[in-house]
Amino acid sequence: MHIYGPPARYPIAATAAKPPPCHADLAAYRAVMRRLGTQRVIVVQPSAYGADNACTMHAVAALGPGTARAVVVVAPDTPEPEIAALHAAGARGARFFLLEGAPLGWDALPAVAARVAPFGWHVQLQFDGGEMAERAPLIGALPCPVVIDHNGRFHHSVPPDRPPVRALLSLLDCGRVWVKCSSPYGVSRNGPPDYADVAAIARAIIAAAPERVVWGSNWPHPNPPDHALDEAALLDLLGAWTPDEATRRRILVDNPASLYGF
């Protein structure tokens, strides 16, 4: 999920594609946690703040080390002591948002991956999954784990047997690539309540590598669809994708504990 704060305290980056959502502060997310019954949270640096991780890290500090971790933005020239300080404060991954408003591009990815690998971090990638086959050699060669956002985020609806999805499933075979099952509404052509096209991909991902799947709410849904969203209903979808309790526990508890160092 993401946290946003007052613009006077947390200025919007020049690269931001649009203003951040309102009423998306820590108090609002704590209400979501109470409703869902979740106890841990990963605060992901939003593209609105570029490489200024202050809002994200302040939220992690307020939530506490037993509750929160962060995925932040670092650049190829970020000093090592700064990365070490972020690690000590709870950061465990470097985010690459590779769509409109991106603070860093694909060209920076290998250097950043090399910088964060010694800290045991992963890199988290969000991009159009239609590029998956083209990007797979680079992703597979990175020296650290990789988390691919939003079920691969295939902008054009494709079934699991098509080349872009097969490329993602092949990446899972390497043992270092993870997928976040989140935001099915972002690219679905079928829409609610079950987002059937994205659900088919999510099921294929979970069947291929249940030990390297995590779930996310994507709250506060910075790119909302044209229908109402309910975080509880989105969480319930995971039950439809993983009907056995052991796999659900793996995705919701054990896998994130391993990936984020709880």
Residues 6 or more apart whose CB falls under 8 angstroms from that of 84 comprise: 119
Question: Residue 259's closest CA among 216, 196, 213, 219?
Answer: 213
Q: And the tokens for 80?
A: 């090592």
Distance CA 80, CA 77 (A): 9
Q: Angle formed by the axes of helices 132-141 and 163-172, to 10°? A: 10
Q: Active-site residue 218, yes or no?
A: yes
Q: Amino acid identity of 182?
A: S
Torsion of CA 30, 32, 34, 35, to 10 degrees: 170
Residue 193: phi, psi to the nearest 5? -90, -15
Q: 153 — alpha (psi -120 to 50), left (phi > 0) or beta?
A: left
Contact 190, 197 (CB under 8 A): yes
Degrees (nearest 5) of the Cα angle 112, 114, 119?
A: 95
Residue of 151, 218, 223, 255 with catalytic role: 218
Q: Show which residues are catalytic.
A: 218
